[in-house]
Amino acid sequence: MAVVFISHSSKDKDKVNEIVEAIRLQGFDSIFLDHDKLKGIKTGEHWEQRLYREIKRTHAMLLILSPAWIDSKWCFAEYTQAKALGKEIIPVVIDHGIDNEVDQWIDGFLQKSDISKDQHDLSRVISRLKEISVHTQRGFEWDRHRSPYPGMMSFEEEDAAIFFGREDDTLEVIEKLNAMRNRNAPKFLNIVAASGMGKSSFLKAGIIPQLKRSYSDRWIVLPVQRPTRRPLYAFAKNLAAFLNKEQEYKSIYEALWQENYQEVLDDLVSEIEFVSPQSAILFPVDQAEELYSLAEKDEKEQFFRSLYYLLKEKEHFFAIWTLRADFLKEFQADKALKPICKTMELFALTPLRKENVSSIIKDPAVVAGIDIDERLIEKIKEDMQTTDALPLLALGMSELYQKYGKSGQITLEGYKALARGEENPLEHIIQQKAEEAIKGFREDAETMRALKEAFIPHLVRVNSKNEYIKRIALWEELPAKAYAVLEELVKARLLIKKSEEGKEVIEISHEALIRKWPLLQNWLQEEQEFLVGKSQLEIALQEYSREDANTRHRAYLSGIRLQKASSWLLDYQNQLSTEEKNYIKKSIAFHEKQEKRRKTLYLGVFLVVLLFGLFSAWQWRVAKVNEERATVQAKLAEKSEKTALDRLATIEKQKNDMIGAYWVLFLNDDAKDGHIDKLDKVSKILTYLDANVTRKDFLINVLTKYFSKKGLGLKFEEKELNDFDKIFTGIVFRKSKYVGMELEARLSLDLWLLSKEQLKALDRLISTLLSQNLPDIFQRYRNVNDKDRQTLEYLSFMLKYMYEPNEELLNKLMKFKQFKSKTENSVYSGLDTLLNFTSVFNYVNSERFAKEYTQDRWEQILNEGIEKIVKISRVLYRHSSQYPELYTTKEKETIEDMYFYGIYKMKIDYKKINRKHEVPDWLRGSLYINKFMIYKYKEKIEKLFKDYKLKEIEEQINHILAIQDDNFWALNQLSYSYLLQENKEAIVLVDKMIKLFPTQKEYLNKKLKACISILKDTNLNLNKKEEKTLFNYYFNMASCNAANGNLSKAIRITRDSLKKYDDMPNKLRAERFGNLSWFQLLSGEYKEALKSAEEGLKLDPAQKWIETNLAHAKLFLGKYDEAKMIYVKNKGLKLDSGQIWDDVIIEDFAIFGEKGIKSKYFKEIEVLLKKDKT
């Protein structure tokens, strides 16, 4: 609830106490009243500083107005201080005789409550305080008994009111879920992030509460499930709990193992759907990696079968999971999961942006009514340059709240006190907290040994990448001697102890403990070999248990693994389970039995050989010695020759290898200090080899050798390296076949299509170029002039911005606006590259770009580019709202459109639109928007249509869509789309819109006229301007039908419009005849196409593009010589569109080919045009 400050005169003490008591009874327990015995000002306390501190942390100030308050200068000072800080102020009059004085002192815009006249006014005051509480907590309730900083434990659903910093990500995931629901595909969203990113909190306190609060009419959200050891058991228990059948969960679990488990699932889903038939069901799973690190195999596989059935067969069943990034490959490679993966979409949760750090520190404090020192926030931002920054910050804030929360103020000095001396408090807080928890047991060697055995291997395991990760352990499996010290670690919230399936389990609260506690790190290093072997033993035991009795012998341990495991029976007997010990013993027994049999067999064979072989042994030995001598001599000669040839053949490879080695050492900051001598040696070898390094060598060696060494997993094909080379050539050395904005768009797109790791790789190269710290062999890269330097700096900022958009980088990019005005012919000339999305888009849609790629690759480029653009647009929108003076009107409009309407959604319809420009660009864009709007508002618009006869329509619209402009925009676009489809619902809709949107009446009346005229073919006495508009509408309708493959309809619409409006300007009618001839060519009506082209040229001979259709028609009608004459006559001609005649002809031939229209003369004419051009 809100923190409330009571401003009053001490003379009104009794009345004030009554008011405060009434407010407290409504649940407000954070009320500052100066004379309160518990929370008020203490004797000897500096009362003035305390008052200002309490005002600063309050959410609302109640002014208890009376003559005594009016006379008090301190009361008025409290009021002015709260006003200056922007606090909510609620005046409460307790003496009605002071109305005039109140109006004189208090601003007129503040609404007063006079409880001296009406006691019910106090209820209105309390209601207002509750509204302020809801607003402060973003509409979520918060239990003040919970800490606003949970520490390293993940946030729960109950913490939604204090979960901040991931608002944009939450919105994006909810948008994805709603889109999945609307399209019914994909059915499964997988949130992937590295350890320490906060994915569990993001799911439980971010996404789920928001869905339940704002989208309860769309989603039924099942309880969040963790897989545990028995994921199917947990699933059954979750479903039973949701359906209030807790007592039946065991029978549900048993039924899910039966052959008819699908029928059981059908019944359960039917019961869930009964709760809200129109809603989709969402099944959330947290920490899905436990399916691989913890779950029993049979349980996991049956769980997957059940889940796959639900996702496939139940139209309204969806799943959302969180998964550690290092388990993603294992997840995707799992054969049992392959069917599910086909319905999956990934969402990569990126690290928290720096500008959001303030939010996760400050906003929970606002909810809790605590004042945070601004210097503390800046200091924490500096200290967060460490691994596991987020969990360390969470633990640090939890510690600060525990120590200083009751005082209502957390200061920089309190934060510094968490560390010793000048140490970074975040870097050492886990160590200090852990050491403090175990300090009472440090001298007890037996307890410390038991604690080590508890951690290794029960609480920590090694994954496939040899990384230490946490694991859940049964409490009863741990050494009893360690129980007391483990309980202390639980109290410190470094371990979590809870009950699962009737048994107590324990786990590490966050893996940051593994990485940041030196004692545990030392133990892990000591026992690394055992931990790795223990993980392998567990896998082997699982394989053994899956084999039947006849094949089980194949799964016994053998060789070095058996030797190590045998020693563990003595050295680590307390750390092995009973099953593991028995498995090792059985393996030993099996191999001893095998060895005994083998020895018996060898002895028998030996005796037989001895009896029959003694006589020939001597002769064989002499022959063998001679043979071996000859073989050795031949091998020596062959080796000498090969060595000589290898030295000659590999000298070039040595150069490249040494270049790569140099860059591995040079760019590896972590190892540079220890490799100075190696750098010198490599440099000398390169000088000796006289290495002449080309730009391609530079890219190949640095990218392939350095970045693969760094473990980024980058694999660059030859073509990709050539593309990088092209980008660098265009950027740094100003050489490209593209020019102007086209080059800028081209390079922008090239960069947008790179992965995050590749962007980082290029950024690192650019930083190296700018550093000037290059060896002599790379001299050519040192000569970067000022213009190139600025360009490279800009590119470096932009690359960073592309893989991690944030406002700090955007501020740096903004300074290049000034650079743009001073620099000519700059490829990256300023922020326009990021803002001018439409230019990039138009270029991607262009014929020249499209024909460089296959259809699938072209569509992939569009989709990938748009996904990145929309992320960038979010940051741009926030920035342009905060600094509007830095942006032009056009830029702001572009950003706003991108942010609100999300052009990336339009990718759904790309595959339905032919890329060969049968539809003009502007109309294509309009089609996208219409289809997108129908998609985006599908459910809302359908509801509008069902209810449009009701009187409450306007109220319903305002309820369904929050913004009036969005109502108009969505419905207007829908009406236009209906018109293009010749759907008469357009008339009904526009007529209704006139009543709903009176301010748009003039525009809508014109549109209604157009709809009636076109769809009902009625003469409405239109003026020339209106007729011209209709003439263009008809063309749009025809083009849309042609784009969707309905050529006969396109031809009919165009013909009808030409007949109906025969008085249109010649130029406009000529264009329509040209369009008609093209539609007729594509539909095989060659005679009609010839007539239409001739008619168009008669009306306007200057429109030479129509002659292309004329030539095509003659060619298809067998008039080859006439067609050839037209083709050759116009070769090299530049058309009004800017295209060259020759290119248009060749492109047209390609379109005909795609449509199945062929001619033996196509190749001949192409050769002719190219030959003549040469």
**Which tops the pLDDT comparison, 676 or 990?**
990
What residues pair up with 1140 in beta bridges, in sequence order? 1134
**Burial (Cβ within 10 Å: 0-12, 13-18, ≥19) of residue 598:** exposed
Instruction: Tell me, yes or no, whether 332 and 416 share the same domain.
Output: no
Residue 817: CA count within 13 A, CB half-sphere: 14
Q: Name the pLDDT band for 1160 (thresholds 50, 70, 90).
A: confident
Distance separating alpha carbons of residues 1041 and 1018, to the nearest angstrom: 22
Phi, psi of 60 (to 5 degrees): -145, 145
Q: Name the pLDDT band for 1111 (thresholds 50, 70, 90).
A: very high
Instruction: Give a yes or no: residue 617 inside a domain.
Output: no
Establish whether the linkage from the previous residue to 457 is cis, with ω within 30° of 0.
yes
Domain range enclosing 367: 356-422
Instruction: Give a yes or no: residue 510 inside a domain.
Output: yes
Closest to 138 in 3D by CA, of 161, 156, 159, 171? 161
Distance separating alpha carbons of residues 1002 and 449, to the nearest angstrom: 85
Long-range contacts of 1119-1127 (CB under 8 A, 24+ apart): 1120/1161, 1123/1161, 1124/1165, 1124/1168, 1127/1165, 1127/1168, 1127/1169
Q: Name the pLDDT band for 817 (thresholds 50, 70, 90).
A: low
| Amino acid at residue number 749 | L
Q: Which of 1022, 1045, 1068 is the last residue of a domain?
A: 1022
Instruction: Tell me, yes or no, whether 64 and 82 share the same domain.
Output: yes
Q: List b or e across 627-658, with b for residues whose CB sees 16 or more CB atoms inside 10 angstroms.
A: eeeeeeeeeeeeeeeeeeeeeeeeeeeebbeb
pLDDT of 551 reads 76
Instruction: Give a yes or no: residue 752 inside a domain.
Output: yes
Instruction: Tell me, yes or no, whether 360 and 346 share the same domain.
Output: no
**Which tops the pLDDT comparison, 790 or 393?**
393
**Which tops the pLDDT comparison, 991 or 490?**
490
Q: Region 87-102: what's the mean pLDDT?
A: 78
Tally of domains in the chain: 7
Q: Region 879-894: what's the mean pLDDT?
A: 71
CATH number for position 222? 3.40.50.300
pLDDT of 762 reads 63
Mean pLDDT is lowest, of 102-106, 146-150, 242-246, 1035-1039, for 102-106
Residue 349, SS3 per DSSP: coil
Three-class HEC string of 284-300? EECCCCHHHHCCCHHHH
Instruction: Tell me, yes or no, whether 921 and 896 share the same domain.
Output: no
- Cβ–Cβ < 8 Å for 552, 482: no
Instruction: Tell me, yes or no, whether 866 and 808 share the same domain.
Output: yes
- Cβ–Cβ < 8 Å for 961, 970: yes
- Cβ–Cβ < 8 Å for 90, 113: yes
Residue 1140, SS3 per DSSP: strand
Q: Which of 1002, 1022, 1042 is the last residue of a domain?
A: 1022
Instruction: Tell me, yes or no, whether 442 and 416 share the same domain.
Output: no
Distances (CA, A) of 809 to 813, 815, 816, 877: 6, 11, 12, 14
Model confidence over 841-877: pLDDT tens digits?
545 555 555 555 565 666 666 666 666 666 666 677 7
pLDDT over 60 (residue 752): no
Instruction: Tell me, yes or no, whether 998 and 1132 share the same domain.
Output: no
Mean pLDDT is lowest, of 192-196, 461-465, 778-782, for 778-782
- Cβ–Cβ < 8 Å for 1133, 1104: yes
Residue 84 has a CB neighbour count (10 Å cut-off) of: 9
Instruction: Give a yes or no: residue 15 inside a domain.
Output: yes
**Which tops the pLDDT comparison, 786 or 74?**
74
Report CA torsion sign: 690, 692, 698, 700: negative
Q: Which helix (H) or strand (E) holds 640?
A: helix 578-649
DSSP letter assigned to residue 162: G
Residue 507, SS3 per DSSP: strand
- Cβ–Cβ < 8 Å for 1037, 982: yes
pTM of the model: 0.46
Closest to 373 in 3D by CA, of 353, 358, 395? 358
Q: Which of 351, 373, 394 is the last residue of a domain?
A: 351
What residues pair up with 283 in beta bridges, in sequence order? 319
Instruction: Give a yes or no: residue 759 inside a domain.
Output: yes
Model confidence over 985-1022: pLDDT tens digits?
777 777 877 777 776 777 777 777 777 777 766 655 66
Instruction: Tell me, yes or no, whether 103 and 179 share the same domain.
Output: no
**Which tops the pLDDT comparison, 552 or 957?**
552
pLDDT of 964 reads 38
| Amino acid at residue number 224 | V
Three-class HEC string of 119-161? CCHHHHHHHHHHHHHHHHCCCCCCCCCCCCCCCCCCCCHHHHH
Instruction: Tell me, yes or no, whether 770 and 898 share the same domain.
Output: yes
Measured in residues, the chain has a length of 1174
**Burial (Cβ within 10 Å: 0-12, 13-18, ≥19) of residue 485:** buried
Instruction: Tell me, yes or no, whether 766 and 891 share the same domain.
Output: yes
Q: Region 328-332: what's the mean pLDDT?
A: 80
Instruction: Give a yes or no: residue 1027 inside a domain.
Output: no
- Cβ–Cβ < 8 Å for 713, 810: no
Instruction: Tell me, yes or no, whether 854 and 923 share the same domain.
Output: no
Instruction: Give a yes or no: residue 842 inside a domain.
Output: yes
- Cβ–Cβ < 8 Å for 66, 98: yes
Mean pLDDT is lowest, of 350-364, 376-390, 685-699, 1040-1054, for 685-699
Average pLDDT, the chain: 72
Q: Region 378-393: what's the mean pLDDT?
A: 83
Instruction: Give a yes or no: residue 598 inside a domain.
Output: no
pLDDT of 6 reads 92
Distance separating alpha carbons of residues 150 and 584, to the nearest angstrom: 43
Residue 294: CA count within 13 A, CB half-sphere: 23
Instruction: Tell me, yes or no, whether 755 and 842 share the same domain.
Output: yes
% of the chain beyond a pLDDT of 90: 12
Highest mean pLDDT among 618-632, 727-741, 850-864: 850-864
